[in-house]
Amino acid sequence: MLRSCAARLRTLGAGRGGARPPAGNPGPAQRWFSSEKLSANDRSLPNPSWNKDLRLLFEQFMKKCEDGSWTHMPSYSYKNTLSTQDFTTLIRDGKLPNKHLSQAQLFTRSYEEGLGFEYVMFYNDAENRTICFFQGGPYLQGAPGFLHGGAISTMIDATLGTSAMIAVGIVMTANLNITFKRPIPLGSAVVINSQVDKIEGRKVFVSCNVRSADEKTVYTEATSLFIKLEPGKSLT
């Protein structure tokens, strides 16, 4: 039932123009929503490893999607989540400098179900906000019983990057500042609430906080700068 609901929401997302990218630039969000052939592999839908909090948050936000204020973002494990083709058009000689590309996977989707990053994102077009519900599995341990800081940073980067990409198109992280205030227990569901604060030319300033599912504990805070890639400019 949830799967069919997600499919319906994808259709709605495509119909209303998704994230409203700049004119003439279809933007990654629209491509995600129109990737019907990939939807059977959507990793952002509940699986047996999700705990009660993660399921509840997912269901709450799927309901919020019904009036169009929030949109569910599908997510896939393989390389084309951020279209390789789109990315190469932004690189001077049109070639990615990596012979391992055929084996590449999105880092956050490269673990088996329940062991690593379990998450789902939703975005709110009117408020320039992206929210991520995240449950870190046992392979993401840092201090015993708690999430590794690198794993937390990864999900923050992914959420902030998604916010920035929805706002302006393909970006890369230039700067990421993180304050770890409380450790996050392994296996608990947390809420990463991000927003675009300011856009200045190619610079997108975004920020977020990470809270417990009941919102009572603030675990982490972050600010970041993303740069919209300039076509034809070499990155290497």
Ligand X SMILES: CCCCCCCC(=O)SCCNC(=O)CCNC(=O)[C@H](O)C(C)(C)COP(=O)(O)OP(=O)(O)OC[C@H]1O[C@@H](n2cnc3c(N)ncnc32)[C@H](O)[C@@H]1OP(=O)(O)O
Q: Nearer to ligand X by C-beta: 76 or 219? A: 76
Residue 94's contacts (CB-CB under 8 Å, 6 or more residues apart) are 88
Residue 157 touching ligand X (CB under 6 A): yes
Segment near ligand X (CB under 6 A), from 9-17, 42-50, 173-181, 211-219?
173-181
Residue 225 touching ligand X (CB under 6 A): yes
135, two tokens: 């449950």
Residue 152's contacts (CB-CB under 8 Å, 6 or more residues apart) are 136, 178, 180, 184, 210, 219, 220
Residue 158 touching ligand X (CB under 6 A): yes
| Beta-bridge partner residues of 73 | 121
For ligand X, the binding residue among 2, 143, 174, 218 (CB under 6 A) is 174
Closest residue to ligand X using C-beta atoms: 161
* Rounded Cα distance, 144 and 218, in Å: 20
Residue 197 touching ligand X (CB under 6 A): no
User: Could you tell me where the DSSP H helices lie in 65-204?
Assistant: 84-88, 149-168
Among all residues, which ones are annotated catalytic? Answer: 157
Instruction: Write the DSSP assignment of 162-198 as a string of letters.
Output: HHHHHHHSSEEEEEEEEEE-SPPBTT-EEEEEEEEEE
* Rounded Cα distance, 126 and 181, in Å: 30
For ligand X, the binding residue among 24, 97, 150, 201 (CB under 6 A) is 201
Residue 230 touching ligand X (CB under 6 A): yes
From residue 65 to residue 104, what is the string marking binding to ligand X with x (rule CB under 6 A)?
A: -----------------x----------------------
Contact residues for ligand X, defined by CB under 6 A: 82, 157-158, 161-162, 165, 172-175, 201-203, 225, 227, 230, 233, 235
